[in-house]
Structure 1
Amino acid sequence: MAIAIPSPSPSPSAPMEFIFLGTGTSSSVPHVDCLTRPRDDPNPCRTCLSTLTPEGKKNIRRNTSGVVRTKAKDGSDVTIVIDAGKTFQAAAVEWFPQYGLRKIDALLITHPHADAMNGLDDLRGWTLGGSIQSYIDVYVSDHTFKEVQRSFPYLVSKEYASGGGDVPEFVWHIIEDKVPFEINDTGIFVTGFSVHHGRIFSPVPSPAFMFTPEGTGTTTTPSEPLEQALDLLSVNGSAQKKNDDIIHPYLCFGFKIQDEIVYLSDVSHIPEDAWAIIHNKKGREGRPLPLCILDCLHLSPHTSHFGLHESITAARQISATRTYLTGFSHKLSHDEYVKITEVVGGATVDESSLTDMEKQGLELIETGGEAFWVRPAHDGLRVILDEGVPRDDTYT
């Protein structure tokens, strides 16, 4: 296993692109329950139903994921993928050919939830038989690596493979919180920093169904009662009672890439120590952060995601030149988010033309502050950064 070596001084940034492979939450959009409701249902889901028409294409939202494409210090192209969740294969089939993407130079995983890592097996399409490349470098926290090892042991050690033994080839890099690392020898630097993504509901370790080929591995009985396990939880060798008053946050990586992009796809709270990284202007000569990608599940806050108010408040504090919201559920359509965020940017609207959801959204945002640029992302949106100036083909 390779260990990432940090460097204190990132090289100057080349022109960059960010392509949204997915902008939806774990369940993605549309929902099958919405598409199969009786036609006389009094409350149809207009967002999901719109995906059946060309006009609703921007409401098709696969698991949150993105691609950064830039240049290495030797001038060669570098492609960095962030997260490979349950819908990664479908997203890659659609967007990789459209944007001329092929080789993956690095895969960054934010956290070990299904919508961030369950597409890892699909990467065999890149490495099987060297079809595109011989292996993919994957950058993860130690916790994420252990969860991959537990969930998909054959992705870490081929000796656990079965059937025909056709598995993807990875080189695993363990990265540390707030420690910059270089993508191979490209001169491209990334810093992962921990944010809260909800909470841990049980301090009991996950069952480790990890057998060695000789059968000497240990297992945890899956049927052990949770309450009993909590009451007898052992810490540092001594049993102690659970403490219901202690809430342990579930940590997820945000990423800062080349001091040009901050990526926060799964966040319910930004800890104080993360702000120092977000606001660090080293290498930008004092200019604002060009691009921020920020979580926004729906209007109301959620245990593990920002709601609209939290997203707008954080975006105002981050103060990037452009902020794109991502990670949406199906409760609001793309056009409704556009209308709300246009008001954040200083636009005026005719209240009589607003939908109920737009009215609710506008009630949640603080319109008294200084206007700034924020818009909803959509699958397939490409943002180009040239000398720190972002632009795209959807918003003028």
Structure 2
Amino acid sequence: MTSPLRAYFLGTGTSTALPVGPCLAQVDKPSRDVGLFLDTYNAAPEDQRQPDRWGGYDPKGEWPASVACGSCRASVSPSVEEGWKNRRGNPAMVLRKQNANGEWRNVVVDVGKTFREQSCRYFPRWGIKHIDAVLITHGHADAYNGLDDLREWCVRQGRPMPIYLTQATFDTVAASFPYLVDKTKASGGGDLPTLQFNVIEDEDEFEVEGIKVTTLPVVHGRYFHAPEPAKPTEPPAPSAPGSPQRVESPAPTAPQPFICLGYIFDNSLVYLSDLSSVPEPMYARIEKTLAKRSAPPVLVADTLWPWRPHASHISFPQAMDIALRLNPRPAHTYLVGMTHPVTHWTWLELGRHIRGESGKEPTHPDQHLSQALIEKVWESEDMVKIAPELAKWGGLVEPAWDGLGLEITDDGCTELPFGAAGGSAGGWGF
């Protein structure tokens, strides 16, 4: 019998992470969505502005009650039950599996801007004392900016650390951190991580520390190629000083898809942390890989906003559409990459509504706002298209949270007990 796969959520937020500093500092200009919330709040009659109708918001109260952003406010309010689940680092995961000798091997997926902070918070609670490999999904700061923070791990472990990434991502890393790929470019003033870069293909299959890895190149927005510098149309002829030369206008730039890697781990965990769409051929690739296992998969899906589309991320209805298209459909879907001001509890309600289980906690301070949001989501164009099939499916959909641990076996997926050794971790402490 093979060892079960354990998957720990090291980060479940956006590239900004949560909470957001300007929200807590109450700067004069709110973010767009917080501004919309304030417009709605200020338009309500005075007798309908009780804090328990507005997620606990009280503009005349003491900080943090006076913070208008719901998720940022909850993240620092111990009076909010499980408010700490609104603290979210950059999307990242740790995969653990025991080898033939019973030793746990640890593979980190993405080391972004919050890696150092998150590893300090959760590795001790999960019992992680070494990092055996790192997978990088794409060349954005929230996926690789923490590579330099691997230096102490490399020094203590006394061996190079394998890093798996595509050529495009390697090129981005080399441009950002030249000394990480070529130590002759270091200033000589301190320790350096010793990284062993392994370039993989967009579509690849390999094994890392006993974990089967199937890559899934998905679209994560787009970028524009820089035009070639303008050149003279013909060799310049001698001319009087200052005479202009006719040059070709640069060709218009064409948008190109920005590719981010999703993964399937051990033919059972589909991980799509950053994407705006799944290319059609990838669904066949996913189905072929999942067919190697009898139990339904676990899906981890990017979900930036409840309903509004975004250039480089998907919304809740779009994430649900992906879940419906998987064959077999996931036994459990976890949402990651959520932004503010929607609270963790409200994301829970969105998932419960699929199963007809929302609205059962009328005294919760987020209840009024969550029901209004659910109505808006289910009226959105993308949700209207899939709502009947979604209701028929009734799948288990929940927001992931930093510290959550899963164990995936041939029989399915279970959440690791909170607070147990090697289990799920979290709370208001460090």
- 1:189-208 equivalences under 5 Å are 189-200=212-223, 202-204=224-226
Contact 1:137 1:170 in 2 (8 A): yes
Amino acid at match of 2:184: E
Structure-2 residue corresponding to 1:226: none
Q: Distance in 2 between matches of 1:387 and 1:351?
A: 35
Structure-1 residue corresponding to 2:376: 360
Structure-2 residue corresponding to 1:109: 136
Contact 1:281 1:287 in 2 (8 A): no
The equivalent position to 1:90 in structure 2, one of 103, 112, 117, is 117
Could you say what secondary structure the match of 1:329 adopts?
Answer: coil
Residue 17 of structure 2 corresponds to residue 28 of structure 1 = yes
Q: Offset at 1:135?
A: 2.1
Q: Distance in 1 between matches of 2:89 and 2:316?
A: 19
Structure-1 residue corresponding to 2:352: 342
Structure-2 residue corresponding to 1:170: 195
Once the two structures are superposed, residues 119-149 of structure 1 have per-residue CA deviations (whole angstroms, 9 ceiling, x without a partner) of: 0000112012xx1342211000011111111
Distance 1:138 1:97, change over 3 A: same
Q: Distance in 2 between matches of 1:63 and 1:95?
A: 14
- 1:27-46 equivalences under 5 Å are 27-37=16-26, 40=59, 44-46=68-70
Amino acid at match of 2:357: A
- 1:126-275 equivalences under 5 Å are 126-128=153-155, 131-183=156-208, 186-200=209-223, 202-204=224-226, 229=227, 232=230, 241-243=250-252, 246-275=254-283
Structure 2 runs not aligned, ≥5 long: 28-57, 61-65, 232-247, 419-423, 425-430
What is the percentage of aligned positions where both structures have the same residue?
34
The equivalent position to 1:376 in structure 2, one of 386, 395, 399, is 399
Structure-1 residue corresponding to 2:44: none
Could you say what secondary structure the match of 2:261 adopts?
Answer: strand
Contact 1:13 1:258 in 2 (8 A): no
Residue 398 of structure 2 corresponds to residue 389 of structure 1 = no
Q: Which has the higher helix share?
A: 2
Contact 2:304 2:316 in 1 (8 A): yes
Contact 2:111 2:145 in 1 (8 A): yes
Residue 77 of structure 2 corresponds to residue 53 of structure 1 = yes
The equivalent position to 1:304 in structure 2, one of 312, 323, 326, is 312
Distance 1:371 1:283, change over 3 A: closer
Distance 1:363 1:350, change over 3 A: farther
Aligned residues: 348
Structure 1 runs not aligned, ≥5 long: 1-11, 205-228, 234-238
What is the root-mean-square deviation of aligned Cα atoms in Å? 2.5
Q: Distance in 2 between matches of 1:387 and 1:27?
A: 36
Residue 347 of structure 2 corresponds to residue 323 of structure 1 = no
Q: Distance in 2 between matches of 1:154 and 1:66?
A: 26
Q: Distance in 2 between matches of 1:285 and 1:89?
A: 35
Q: Offset at 1:357?
A: 2.7
Amino acid at match of 1:303: A
- 1:68-87 equivalences under 5 Å are 68-73=95-100, 75-87=102-114
Distance 1:40 1:372, change over 3 A: closer
Contact 1:69 1:77 in 2 (8 A): yes
Distance 1:361 1:161, change over 3 A: same
**For the pair shown, which has the larger CA radius of gyration, 1 or 2?**
2
Could you say what secondary structure the match of 1:81 adopts?
Answer: strand
Distance 1:49 1:163, change over 3 A: farther
Distance 1:312 1:161, change over 3 A: same
Amino acid at match of 2:181: V
Q: Offset at 1:70?
A: 1.1
Structure-1 residue corresponding to 2:302: 295
Structure-1 residue corresponding to 2:288: 280
